[in-house]
Amino acid sequence: MTAISFEFFPPKSEAAADKLWHNISRLAPLGPDFVSVTYGAGGSTRDRTHSCVKRIIDETRLKPAAHLTCVAASKAEVDSVVDDYAAAGVKHIVALRGDMPDMGAFSPHSDGYSGSVELIEALAKRGGFDITVSAYPEKHPESGSLSDDIDLLKAKIDAGATRAITQFVFDTDAHLRFRDALAAAHVTIPVIPGIMPTTNFVGAKRMAEACGAHMPDELIALYAGLDEDLDTRKHIGASVAVDQCRKLLEEGFEYLHFYTLNQADLTFAVCRILQLGAPLKQES
C-alpha cells in the first residue's frame, strides 16, 4: 500500500484557521502516514505552527510532523522550540535550514546552528524524534550542482535523518532522474516525491521559478488563457496531479507527499481517483 502524507501551513487569521481545520478534517479519513506543518521564513510562524501542531495532537488521531528551522535564531531559541514540541507530544520533526526573513542568501546566526546538518545532529543526540529532511531533485537554487545537493543529503543521513521529502516537482522525469542518481550514490532512506496539486497556476509558476523547479511547456500550455476560468483549472489540476502520481506509482515509488496549500478538495480527489489512503466507510 502506498503511504501518503500531507503538508499544511499555519493559519494567519480566525477565518483561515476555520478553513484549515475543515481541510484537515476532510483529508484525515484517508489515514495519512503523517501530516506536516510548516515554519515560516526566519521562524516567523513559530507560535502559530506550535499551536496548530498541538491542536492536531489534542483533537485528531493524525500524527503531526512539525517543521523546525535554525535560521535567524540562537541555539538556545531553537532548543526551546524543540522542548515545546517534545512537551506537546511531537515525535516527528522536519528539520530544515530555513529561509532568511528577507529571502536572501543564508547567513547563520552568530550563536546559532550552522545549518541543517548541525541541527539534525543536535536532534539525533537529544533523541526521541523521527527526523525528516528536504531533498531537491532539480538542485537547490543556492547549490553549485545536483551532486553537491546529494552530498549534503548524505551528510544529513549520517547526522541522523531517517527520510527525506523532495521539493515539489512538475517535471516528473526529474523525480526519476533523481531516484537513479540517489541509487548510484547509495542513498537508501525513503526519499518521498513532493506533489503539489493546484488550481492557482500563476502562483505555482511563481513558486517554481523561485525554487528552480522546471515547468514543462506542455503544462504551461494547458493553463493558457484560463486565468479567469477556475472550474476548468480545477479539472486540469486534478488530471495533471493524477497523471504525475500514476507515473510515479508505476515506477515503483511507495510514498507520496502532497503539498496541499491548505486546500483539501484537489488533493482529496487525486487520492480517491488513485485509491490512495484508507478506504472510506460506505454510508448505509
> pLDDT tens across 66-90, in order?
999 888 788 998 999 999 999 999 9
Model confidence band, residue 100 (pLDDT cutoffs 50, 70, 90): low
Output the pLDDT for position 41.
56
- Among 2-11, 181-190, 193-202, 275-284, which is the least confidently predicted range? 275-284
pLDDT the model gives residue 40: 67
Q: Given this model, what pLDDT does residue 104 score?
A: 59
- Give the pLDDT band (50/70/90) at residue 235: very high
Using the structure block, give the residue that is written with the C-alpha cell 526573513.
Answer: 101
Tell me, which fold does domain 3-273 have in CATH?
TIM Barrel (3.20.20)
Helix (H) or strand (E) holding 258: strand 255-259
Q: What is the amino acid identity at position 18?
A: D
* Cα 257 off chain centre by: 7
Task: Give residue 50's identity as a one-letter amino acid code.
Answer: H
Distance CA 77, CA 70 (A): 9
Binned at pLDDT 50, 70 and 90, residue 189 comes out as very high
Q: Residue 207 is which amino acid?
A: M
Q: Which residues lie across from 24 on neighbouring strands?
A: none
Q: Which amino acid is at 204?
A: A
| Sequence-separated (6 or more) residues with CB below 8 Å from residue 108 | 70, 114, 115
Name residues whose C-beta falls within 8 Å of residue 99's C-beta, 6 or more positions apart in sequence.
Answer: 41, 42, 69, 71, 106
> Residue 124 carries which side chain, given as an amino acid letter?
A
Any idea which residues carry the catalytic annotation? 7
Backbone angles phi, psi at 216, to 5 degrees: -60, 145
The pLDDT tens digits for 123-158 are 999 999 999 999 999 998 888 899 999 999 999 999
Residue listed under C-alpha cell 488550481:
199
8 Å CB contact between 71 and 99: yes
Average pLDDT over residues 236-254: 97
Is 90 exceeded by the pLDDT of residue 97?
no
**Residue that the C-alpha cell 472550474 belongs to:** 231
Q: How many CB atoms lie within 10 A of CB 130?
A: 17
